[in-house]
Amino acid sequence: MAHFSRKKWRTLENTAKIFPATSGKKDERVFRLSCQLTEEIDQVKLQKALDLCMEDYSLFLCVLRCGIFWNYLEESELKPVVREEYRPPCSQIYVRDQKNLLFEVTYYKKRINFETYHALTDGTGALQFLRTLVYYYLMEAYPDMVTGPVSQVQADATDEEMAEDSFDKYYSDKALVKDIPKYKSHQLKYHRLEYGQMRLVEGIVPTDALIRAARSFQTTITVYLTAVFLCAVAMDMSPRQKKRPVALMIPVNLRSYFPSSSVRNFFGWIDIGYNFSEQSEKLEDVIAFTSDFFKRELTPERIAARMNGFMRMEKNPFMRILPLPLKLWGMQAGAAFSTSADTAVFSNIGKIQMPRECEPYIDWFDFYTSTPKMELCMCSWKDRLTVSFTSGYANTRIERNFFRMLTGQGIPVEIIALGGEKGGD
Amino acid sequence: MQYCKRCKITVRNPHRKCPLCQGNLEGIPEEENQMFPDFTRENSRMAMGFRIFSFVCIAVCVAAVSVNWTMGFHSFWSGYVLAGVGCMWILSAVAIVKRRNLFKNAVWEAVLLWAVFLFWDFITGWRGWSVDFGIPIVLLAVYVILWVVVFVTRAPVSHYMIYMVIVSVGSLIPLILLLCGAVGVRLPSVLCVAGAVLMLSALAIFKGRALGEELRKKTHL
């Protein structure tokens, strides 16, 4: 397998291969992780921090190129430049034929944004990068208080381990895929926003209030929010639409199951489907189902079975010898046919931790992605948990249902919204 | 901060209506809580320019056919206008779509120019100028353009290597034509083949490792 350090280029990992095929105006396959600090950002200091950060993450300095059979990432001499935020979140980053870096660091007022094309890294890799960047920035901005060492926020891994293709490492063709649930799910049929536009509705909630609400149902925040999301979609469905299940795609960080320090893509996903015409519509029953489903599916064996399923496709010799343009069309067609598998996506990168000395300077973290349908992303930092909806739809009924269910439980919600309001923002 | 009574939420960044239910908000919007800059978009000038160009192309075609028709179709000269405008439009469209990679652009344009020359030679009663001059001169021009771009932009080897290889391999076509005896005037074709041999040997001798690496990269399975 290609090792970046020696060869100066590397192949795309398994799940990353789909991104060049399916990214376009409808879905740029870009996600943003950002950190809201308590004071205004200083561009010069941020640039310094970024330069330091690039020494630790030199494998992010690459461009995406086309080969005859596959795309690949090639090391580049380009250096990232910090800019003030200048275009809508999750705008296009990968431009065909243009050799530019696949990530961008911008800032606006008190916020540092890290946006990346998904073929470069996944949420975990991006988060590790952002934590390092924020730490370097705080060291620049508050040298007396934040003194390092920066290794506190970095994984204990060599450059080679960080650049490892963990799919390749853990692939085995032994475990056969069996009874992986598949759905023909309900599709949201709302009017769309203008082509290429995205709406963001973000809620900041106190983590402990949410924990209390989840505990009152004897469950975890993840299960609770998944169930609330399922119900929020269902509340707006007609009895006829309810004949189809609501299905959520839930990305899974494979590093939790297969030890890896890679900062490249290493994620899989599970699909959870709930049929509101056959099953109970009560929140506690949806929670019970979700909780059982997670317990059953989130085991190393089941996750491995799914992962090997994705890998088998890539290892298929017929698939491999197709020239790249045919492969891209094939993947586009495959993606178009399988769109009905999910209604929406729920992505959770969990609890973010930073060294204690950084705490006074950080307000919250947030995370969201571009999407052609609807995606809910969540992360938490100390007592502030952000749930961010992005969607390409003109109305906000699901977002409204979701947040009203939270406020109905007595959880205070603070909303940040972008897009869709005529003349407003 | 603003508050929506119906949703029981506070809204941080200033809004006229509740972002969830579009109801009225209580409280005063605070400009300092603006979370995003103004993203009002400018329309791309390139896109607009190309639209105007496309429209002018169609207008020229319509005008030519109309005049031809009015005068009676004794000779179908407007057909040549259509073909000319069509070729021009295709060449420009490809040049714009591939504008971000000059090397790729040059190779695409070369292949299209071959097609255009063969087509025009054919519809003007096949005199063989496309084979004698068209094909080899396009290739020679591409050699020059590629090298000029390399020196002007100081592009690294990995950016241009594959296109040099493609163009050199493309010179097999004038070689085959020469060997088949299809070429009337030999000089341009011979120059072209000689140039390709020189270029390939230069790449192999001076950039041999990069050449091997590039081929491995481009063809990895």
pLDDT tens, residue by residue, A122-146: 999 999 999 999 999 999 999 999 9
Among the partner residues B11, B34, B158, nearest to A415 by beta-carbon distance = B11
**pLDDT, average across residues A410-422:** 84
**pLDDT, average across residues B190-203:** 91
Is the pLDDT score of A200 beyond 70? yes
Computed on alpha carbons and rounded to an integer, the radius of gyration of chain B in Å comes to 28
Among the partner residues A9, A108, A204, nearest to B36 by beta-carbon distance = A108
**Cβ-based contacts of B20 with chain A (< 8 Å):** 201, 396, 399-400, 403-404, 415
Listed by number, the residues of chain B in 12-41 with a beta carbon closer than 8 Å to a beta carbon of chain A are: 12-17, 19-22, 34-37, 39
Q: Is the dihedral of CA B9, B10, B15, B17 positive or negative?
A: positive
CA distance B12 to chain A (A): 6
Is the pLDDT score of A1 beyond 60? no
ipTM: 0.85
Among the partner residues B12, B20, B220, nearest to A399 by beta-carbon distance = B20
B219 and A CB contact within 8 Å: yes
Chain-chain contact of B159 with A99 (C-beta, under 8 angstroms): yes
pLDDT confidence of A84, banded at 50, 70, 90? very high
A242/A346 same-domain check: yes
β-bridge partners, A268: A252
Among the partner residues B39, B100, B221, nearest to A321 by beta-carbon distance = B221
Is the pLDDT score of A421 beyond 70? no
**Cβ-based contacts of B11 with chain A (< 8 Å):** 414-417
Q: Among all residues of chain B, which has the CA nearest to that of A314? A: B221
Is the pLDDT score of A373 beyond 50? yes
**Cβ-based contacts of A366 with chain B (< 8 Å):** none
A204/A98 same-domain check: no
Residue A2 pLDDT: 42
Among the partner residues A321, A407, A425, nearest to B8 by beta-carbon distance = A407
Residue A121 pLDDT: 93
Among the partner residues B7, B8, B37, nearest to A108 by beta-carbon distance = B37
**pLDDT, average across residues B139-164:** 89
pLDDT confidence of A305, banded at 50, 70, 90? confident
**Cβ-based contacts of A10 with chain B (< 8 Å):** none
Angle in degrees, CA B86, B92, B96, rounded to 5:
145
Chain-chain contact of B19 with A111 (C-beta, under 8 angstroms): no
**Cβ-based contacts of A70 with chain B (< 8 Å):** 220-221
A190 found inside a domain: no
Q: Give residue A90's domain range.
A: 7-147+166-170
Is the pLDDT score of B29 beyond 50? yes
**Cβ-based contacts of B14 with chain A (< 8 Å):** 424-425
A207/A108 same-domain check: no
Residue A210 pLDDT: 95
pLDDT confidence of A369, banded at 50, 70, 90? very high
**Cβ-based contacts of B37 with chain A (< 8 Å):** 84-86, 108
Among the partner residues A74, A403, A423, nearest to B20 by beta-carbon distance = A403
How many other β-carbons are positioned within 10 Å of the β-carbon of residue A105?
A: 23
**Cβ-based contacts of B10 with chain A (< 8 Å):** 412-415
Q: Which CATH number does the domain housing residue A207 bear?
A: 3.30.559.30
Residue A385 pLDDT: 96
Going by C-beta distance under 8 Å and a sequence separation of 6 or more, which residues neighbour residue A372?
Answer: A26, A27, A392
Residue B189, token pair as written in the block: 């074709």
A219/A363 same-domain check: yes
**Cβ-based contacts of B98 with chain A (< 8 Å):** 97
Among the partner residues A67, A201, A421, nearest to B16 by beta-carbon distance = A421
Mean residue pLDDT of chain A comes to 89
CA distance B52 to chain A (A): 22
Residue B42 pLDDT: 66
Residue with tokens 């952002």: A130
**pLDDT higher at A400 or A23:** A400
A321 found inside a domain: yes
Strand, coil or helix: A65: strand
CA-wise closest residue to A274 among A186, A197, A206, A358: A186
Size of interface A-B (CB pairs under 8 A): 109
A265/A386 same-domain check: yes
Is the pLDDT score of A348 beyond 50? yes
Q: Is the separation of the CB atoms in A128 and A154 below 8 Å?
A: yes
A398 found inside a domain: yes
A219 found inside a domain: yes
Report the range out of A25-29, A64-68, B119-123 with the highest average pLDDT: B119-123
pLDDT confidence of B113, banded at 50, 70, 90? very high
Chain-chain contact of A425 with B217 (C-beta, under 8 angstroms): no
Query: pTM here?
Result: 0.88
What are the start-end ranges of the H helices in A254-323? 283-297, 300-315, 317-321
A235/A115 same-domain check: no
CA atoms within 13 A on the CB side of A287: 17
Q: Is the dihedral of CA A47, A52, A57, A58 positive or negative?
A: positive
Angle in degrees, CA A46, A48, A49, rounded to 5:
65
The pairs formed by A358-361 with CB atoms below 8 angstroms and a separation of 24 or more are A358/A134, A358/A135, A358/A138, A358/A146, A360/A38, A360/A145, A361/A37, A361/A38, A361/A39, A361/A138, A361/A141, A361/A142, A361/A145, A361/A146
**Cβ-based contacts of A425 with chain B (< 8 Å):** 13-15, 36
Domain total for chain A?
Answer: 2
pLDDT confidence of A177, banded at 50, 70, 90? low
B156 and A CB contact within 8 Å: yes
A213/A89 same-domain check: no
A154 found inside a domain: no
Is the pLDDT score of A61 beyond 50? yes
CA distance A420 to chain B (A): 9
A206/A76 same-domain check: no
A340 found inside a domain: yes
Chain-chain contact of A425 with B100 (C-beta, under 8 angstroms): no
B7 and A CB contact within 8 Å: yes
Residue A409, token pair as written in the block: 């439980």
pLDDT confidence of A420, banded at 50, 70, 90? low
pLDDT confidence of A311, banded at 50, 70, 90? confident
β-bridge partners, A386: A204, A379
Q: Where are the beta strands (DSSP E) in chain B?
A: 2-4, 9-11
CA distance A300 to chain B (A): 29
**pLDDT, average across residues B75-84:** 91
A141 found inside a domain: yes
A209/A143 same-domain check: no
Chain-chain contact of B19 with A415 (C-beta, under 8 angstroms): yes
Chain-chain contact of B36 with A418 (C-beta, under 8 angstroms): yes
A185 found inside a domain: no
Chain-chain contact of B213 with A70 (C-beta, under 8 angstroms): no
Is the pLDDT score of A80 beyond 80? yes
Residue A176 pLDDT: 65
**Cβ-based contacts of B221 with chain A (< 8 Å):** 69-70, 320-321
DSSP state of A251: E
**Cβ-based contacts of B158 with chain A (< 8 Å):** 74
A98/A205 same-domain check: no
A94/A221 same-domain check: no
A203/A143 same-domain check: no
A206-236 tens-digit pLDDT = 999 999 999 999 999 999 999 999 999 999 9
Q: Which CATH number does the domain housing residue A137 bear?
A: 3.30.559.10
Q: Is the separation of the CB atoms in A363 and A38 below 8 Å?
A: yes
Q: Of A192-201, B140-149, B179-188, B195-204, give the lowest mean pLDDT range.
A: A192-201
